[in-house]
Chain A
Amino acid sequence: MKTASLAALLASLVLAAAPLRAQDRPATPAPVASTVEQDSAAVTLTAQEPAAAEHAAPEGEHEAGPVDIITPHITNGDHMEIPYWKFPFFKEIELPHWKPIVIGGLSFDMSPSKHVVFLLLGSTILFLMMVLAARSLRRAAVKGEAPKGGANAIEAMILYIRNEVILPNVGHHGEGFVPYLLTAFFFILTLNLIGLVPYGSTATGNISVTATLAIMTFITVEVAGVRAQGWGYLNTLFYWNNDLPIVLRPVLFLIMSPVEMIGKLTKPFALAIRLFANMTAGHIVVLALMGLIFSFAGPLSAAPLFMSVLIMVLELFVAFLQAFIFTLLSSVFIGQIRESHH
């Protein structure tokens, strides 16, 4: 049983590596070609041409020299790889380009890029899973018997997040925050996990996505603060301590108020960076180890393979952990601002 799943993991890793090997085909246009030139990028990996050429020979001519295969993998792009039945078992498709929408000097490029596709895919999968689980649970509830199967696992997760993470942290009458935080947890979790699947890409490894999530948490926190404290919310923005001598109050007001405001912004900033960096870093490590397979190009290449398997398992854990952390910290921030007037 365990060896079978390990073999499956290995097979998926090999499959995942296949697109990387043939990344530098001449047919591949803009993004890769541009990175070929700037070989001084922070995260570059030199894919050894001889090793890659042996397998990818039918694909055509290859340029010699180091190629950055990591950056295209972890960044957003207008290309994506889909499974294909013929060697090398992937096909690169170009995603449509739409004209950017310009609103008030800001240009919104709404083209469905790779991460947009995975956002939509992940959300669809998540939505279907949850709806199916809900139906199964409701059916079990109507019949008056215990629910079974995957619905049980999903229910256990939902209940754990709700009862152990959200409700104790957001404070009394925090039920209104449960839907947002639950959605955030499962949204992040699904996107994290989809990034680990072969052909997948991690939308939560994109700063735009994590920043948006962090901003949504920020808005939720501030709205919760205004609703819980009313005018007292201003105390979280401005520092005015009545225990101080009257002379010191304006002085400290001027010094401390910016600190308070920056403190407010640091929390979502940290949320965004934490999630983004964790997801990106894990993928970089896995890819770098896989790149070592081709660098070694011998019996020794088995060692990085096992290491990357281990890192992959760690990534599986990190996927859950980061979703959990994001939810936990959001709950804590909401709870803090709701409690702070006491």
Chain B
Amino acid sequence: MTMRSPIAALALLLSTAAPALAAEAGAKPSLLDPHLGLMTWTIVVFVLLAVGLYYFAWGPILEAVNGREQALRDAMAAAEKDRNDAARLLAEQRAAIEAARNEAQRYIAEGRATAESMRGEMLEQTRLQQAELLERARKEIESEKVKAIDELRREAVDLALAGAGKLIGQKLDGAADRKLVEQYLATLGNK
């Protein structure tokens, strides 16, 4: 019976708002007469429809929509995750390639440095060897020369002694003679 006061109020408002219309439309087919039977029909039909649609339409439809929205959200989240993963993997790959390149660069530089140093070393070594060889050769030559000079000197002493012996007619063969000549020759050699 909560319905009655609004109906009454509405009817009151209708009659106050549109007396002219109501008067003109006449008694029989009035446009603004609330008809209780039709109102009851409307309530019955509407309530039945609302209940029917609630159970057979809105529920399933919104459920399906929510399900699809959920699926969509999931798919989007998965796609987002995949994309992030891909980006991460790409970054990792890039970093790895960069690292490899750096390493290669480093190896090349290292190899070059090694080769450089080795070359220098070998050059140095060669030079040293060469110098050593030269030195040795020079020393040998020097010693050969000294030896030859000594030989020559001894020969000269012998010749001189032989010559001098012949001259003085006696054999100058004593160690003292030899020493004498050698002393003399040494003074010559020093000149």
**A interface vs B, CB < 8 Å?**
31, 34-35, 38, 40-42, 71-72, 74-77, 100, 106-113, 115-116, 119-120, 123, 126-127, 130-131, 133-135, 137-138, 140-141, 144, 147, 154-155, 158-159, 162, 178-180, 182-184, 186-187, 203, 206-209, 211-216, 218-219, 265, 268-269, 272-273, 280
Q: Which residues of B contact A158 (CB under 8 A)?
A: 58, 61-62, 65
Q: Given A179-B54, A213-B46, A265-B9 in contact, is the A208-B61 Cβ separation under 8 Å?
A: no
Q: Mark B24-54, 1 if CB is under 8 A from A, else 0.
A: 1110110111111111111101101110111
Contacts of A218 in B (CB 8 A): 6
Q: Kindly provide the distance from the CB of B4 to the nearest chain A CB, expressed in whole angstroms.
A: 9
| Given the contacts A100-B37, A127-B49, A137 and B60 also touching, CB distance less than 8 Å | yes
Closest chain A residue to B47, Cβ basis: A216
Q: Do B2 and A219 touch (CB < 8 A)?
A: yes
What are 22 residue pairs bridging A and B, where the CB atoms are less than 8 Å apart in the complex?
A42-B21, A76-B35, A100-B37, A108-B40, A110-B41, A116-B38, A130-B56, A131-B56, A135-B60, A138-B63, A141-B68, A154-B61, A183-B49, A206-B35, A212-B42, A212-B46, A215-B6, A216-B43, A265-B6, A269-B10, A269-B14, A272-B10
Which residues of chain A have C-beta atoms less than 8 A from B77's C-beta?
Answer: none
Say yes or no: is B165 at the interface (Cβ < 8 Å to chain A).
no
Q: Is the CB of B3 within 8 A of A280?
A: no
Give bound CA distance, A47 to B3, whole Å.
42
Is B108 part of the contact surface with A, judged by Cβ < 8 Å? no
Q: Which of B39, B46, B64 is within 8 Å of A183, CB to CB?
A: B46
- The answer to whether the Cβ of B7 comes within 8 Å of any Cβ in the partner chain is yes
Contacts of B128 in A (CB 8 A): none
Q: Which residues of B contact A (CB under 8 A)?
A: 2-3, 6-7, 9-10, 13-14, 17, 21, 24-26, 28-29, 31-43, 45-46, 48-50, 52-54, 56-58, 60-65, 67-68, 71
| Cα of A138 to Cα of B40 in the assembled complex, Å | 34
B35 contacts A137, C-beta separation under 8 Å: no
A131, A203, A218: most-surrounded residue (chain B CB, <10 A)? A131
Given A110-B37, A207-B32: A138 and B42 interface contact (C-beta under 8 Å):
no
Q: By the criterion CB–CB under 8 Å, are B10 and A141 in contact?
A: no
Contact across chains for A159 and B56 when beta carbons are under 8 A apart? no
A-B contact count (CB 8 A): 167
Query: Which among B42, B45, B54 has the greatest number of chain A C-beta atoms within 10 A?
Result: B42
**Which of B10, B28, B32 contacts A34 (CB under 8 A)?**
B28
- CB of B62, distance to nearest CB on chain A (Å): 8
Q: Which residues of A contact B26 (CB under 8 A)?
A: 38, 41
What's the Cα separation between A265 and B9 when bound, in Å?
Answer: 8
Q: Report yes or no: B31 in contact with A74, Cβ–Cβ below 8 A.
A: yes
Which label, helix, strand, loop or mixed, suits the secondary structure of the B interface? helix
Please state if B35 and A109 are interface contacts (CB–CB under 8 Å): yes
* Contact (Cβ within 8 A) A138 B31: no
Q: Contact: A131 with B57, CB < 8 Å? A: yes
Q: Which residues of A are found within 8 Å of B29, using beta-carbon distances?
A: 31, 34-35, 71-72, 75, 77
Of A42, A178, A272, most buried by chain B (CB within 10 Å of CB) is A42
Measured between beta carbons, the chain A residues less than 8 angstroms from B37 are 100, 108-111, 113, 116
List the A side residues contacting B35 at CB < 8 Å.
76, 109, 206, 208
Assembly CA distance A100 to B60 (angstroms): 39
A211-B56 CB under 8 A given contacts A187-B49, A268-B6: no
- Report if A268-B36 is in contact (Cβ < 8 Å); known contacts: A41-B26, A212-B42: no
Question: Which residue on A lies nearest to B66, using beta carbons?
Answer: A141
* Residues on the B chain within 8 Å of A76, using CB: 35, 38
In addition to A42-B25, A109-B37, 7 A-B residue pairs with Cβ atoms within 8 Å of each other are A127-B49, A130-B61, A137-B60, A141-B63, A179-B58, A182-B53, A212-B39
Q: Collect the chain A residues with CB atoms within 8 Å of residue B71's CB.
A: 144
Compute how far the CA of A99 lies from the CA of B68 in the bound complex, rounded to whole angstroms: 52
The answer to whether B42 and A75 touch across the interface, beta carbons within 8 angstroms, is no
User: Using Cβ atoms and an 8 Å threshold, which residues of chain B touch A208?
Assistant: 33-36, 38-39, 42
Are the C-beta atoms of A209 and B38 separated by less than 8 Å?
A: yes
Q: Shortest Cβ distance from A166 into chain B, in angstroms?
A: 11
A306 CA to B50 CA in the complex, in Å?
39
Taken together as a complex, chains A and B put the C-alpha atoms of A272 and B32 apart, in Å, by: 11
Q: How far, in whole Å, are A133 and B35 apart by their CA atoms in the complex?
A: 34
Chain B residue at minimal CB-CB distance from A42: B24
CA distance A251 to B53 in the complex (A): 49
Contacts A110-B37, A268-B10; A119 near B45 (Cβ below 8 A): yes
Cα distance, A40 to B25, chains bound together (Å): 9
- A133 near B25 (CB under 8 angstroms)? no
A112 CB contacts on chain B under 8 angstroms:
41
Contacts of B34 in A (CB 8 A): 207-208, 211
Q: Are A211 and B10 in contact (CB under 8 A)?
A: yes
Complex Cα gap A305–B68 (Å): 47
Which residue of chain A has the shortest Cβ distance to B10 in the bound complex? A211
